């Protein structure tokens, strides 16, 4: 039984490749914006967590919707 991923599957399916690329681009945009906001708001713990953990944008969205609000 071969459990390794076959790269040919990606090359044969451009829709799958585009979806993976889109998710990666969206994740990096969210991560950059969340890191920028955490740095501006002096949220050191959030900054480190956002920098180290890769959650496909979930943690970034949680931060931006809750703790990442602008200071008044």
Residue 72 lies inside a defined structural domain of this protein: no
pLDDT at 58: 93
CB 42 within 8 A of CB 68: no
Residue ranges making up the domain that contains 43: 7-65
Q: Is the pLDDT of residue 5 over 80?
A: no
Determine, yes or no, domain membership for 41.
yes
Establish if 71 belongs to a structural domain.
Answer: no
The answer to whether position 70 is within a domain reads no
Is 20 contained in some domain?
yes
Report if residue 26 sits inside a domain.
Answer: yes
**7: pLDDT confidence band, cut at 50, 70 and 90?**
confident
Stretch among 2-11, 23-32, 55-64 having the lowest mean pLDDT: 2-11
The string of pLDDT tens digits covering residues 34-55 is: 999 999 999 999 999 999 998 8
Total count of domains within the chain: 1
Is 55 part of a structural domain of the chain? yes
- Tell me if 43 sits within 8 A of 67, measured CB to CB: yes
Phi, psi torsion values for 55, nearest 5 degrees:
-120, 25
């Amino acid at each position: 039984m071969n459990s390794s991923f076959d790269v040919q599957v990606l090359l044969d399916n451009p829709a799958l490749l585009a979806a993976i690329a889109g998710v990666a681009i969206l994740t990096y945009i969210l991560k950059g914006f969340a890191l920028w906001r955490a740095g501006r708001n002096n949220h050191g713990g959030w900054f480190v967590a956002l920098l180290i953990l890769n959650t496909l944008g979930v943690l970034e969205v949680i931060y931006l919707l809750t703790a990442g609000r602008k200071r008044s």
